[in-house]
A and B are shown apart, each in its own frame.
Chain A
Amino acid sequence: DTEVTQTPKHLVMGMTNKKSLKCEQHMGHRAMYWYKQKAKKPPELMFVYSYEKLSINESVPSRFSPECPNSSLLNLHLHALQPEDSALYLCASSQVALSGNTIYFGEGSWLTVV
C-alpha cells in the first residue's frame, strides 16, 4: 500500500472553476513532487518542493499553483484550466530531493476538464 495519499481520486471541473488536489505523506520525507501523466505516456515532472520550498517549476502554466503548507502536505491549486489539462496527476515524495533517493508515488488524482 502506498504511503502517499491523494484526494480526490476523481475530479471533474469546468474551465472557470477553482479546485485543489491534495496530497499527504507520513514517511517523514522532506521532498515532494507533482507529476502529470497523460494516457499511455510516462509521468512528466511539474514541481519539486524541498524542505517546504519550491525548488523546481518545470515551466508549468500559472493556472497550476502548488503549495506546501508543511512537510507532510502538498496541494495543487487549479484555476481556469483547459481541456488539454485533463490527465492523471501524481503526487510523490522522497526522503530528500537528491539523486538516488527513491521516489514514492501516490495513486493519483484523475482530472477531467470540461
Chain B
Amino acid sequence: AQSVTQLGSHVSVSEGALVLLRCNYSSSVPPYLFWYVQYPNQGLQLLLKYTSAATLVKGINGFEAEFKKSETSFHLTKPSAHMSDAAEYFCAVSDRARGSSNTGKLIFGQGTTLQVKP
C-alpha cells in the first residue's frame, strides 16, 4: 500500500526566502506523485505531478519538485516566496492497487501550512 508523510505541519518563511516543503512516500511500485495547493476557502489546485518522465518536475507559480528514489522523497521548492504563496499544501500519491481496485484515488499526506511573513 502507498502512503505519504509530510514533515512539518507548519512552515514559516520570510517573503523572498526559499520555500521547502517536505514529502516522503512509501510505495512498493514506482509511484505517481502530486503536489496540490489549497488557498483559504477554495478547492485543491494541482501544482505539479511526477510520472517518471523526469525526476525534476516544474509546476505552476514557480514551484518545482525533485523525485529522489534513494531517499523516497518528493520535496517541493520555490526559490523566492511571495505573500500569495500562503496556503495549505498537500502531497499525494496515486493508489496503484491491482485490477478492478485500481481507481487512481489519491492518498494524501496530512498537509503543510505555509506562512509567508513580510
Contact = CB atoms under 8 A, between A and B. Distances in A.
A17 interface: no
Contact of A56 (B42, B46, B103): B103
A99 B102 contact: yes
Interface string A87-109: 00010101011111111111110
Nearest to A1: B45
B64 interface: no
Given A48-B103, A48-B105, A50-B103, A102 B46 contact: yes
Contacts of A107: 42-43
Contacts, number: 70
B44 A90 contact: yes
Interface residues of B, number: 27
Contact of A42 (B45, B46, B90, B95): B90
Interface in B34-69: 34, 36, 41-46, 49, 51
A112 to B, nearest CB: 14
B45 A105 contact: yes
Contact of A105 (B43, B49, B95): B43
Contacts of A106: 43
A45 interface: yes
Contacts of B16: none
A99 B104 CA distance: 4
Interface string A26-47: 0000010100000011110100
A101 to B, nearest CB: 5
25 contacts: A6-B43, A31-B103, A33-B105, A40-B88, A41-B111, A42-B108, A42-B109, A43-B106, A45-B106, A55-B100, A56-B103, A56-B105, A90-B43, A92-B44, A97-B102, A99-B32, A100-B32, A100-B94, A100-B104, A102-B34, A102-B49, A105-B44, A105-B45, A108-B42, A110-B41
Interface of B: 32, 34, 36, 41-46, 49, 51, 88, 90, 94-96, 100, 102-106, 108-111, 113
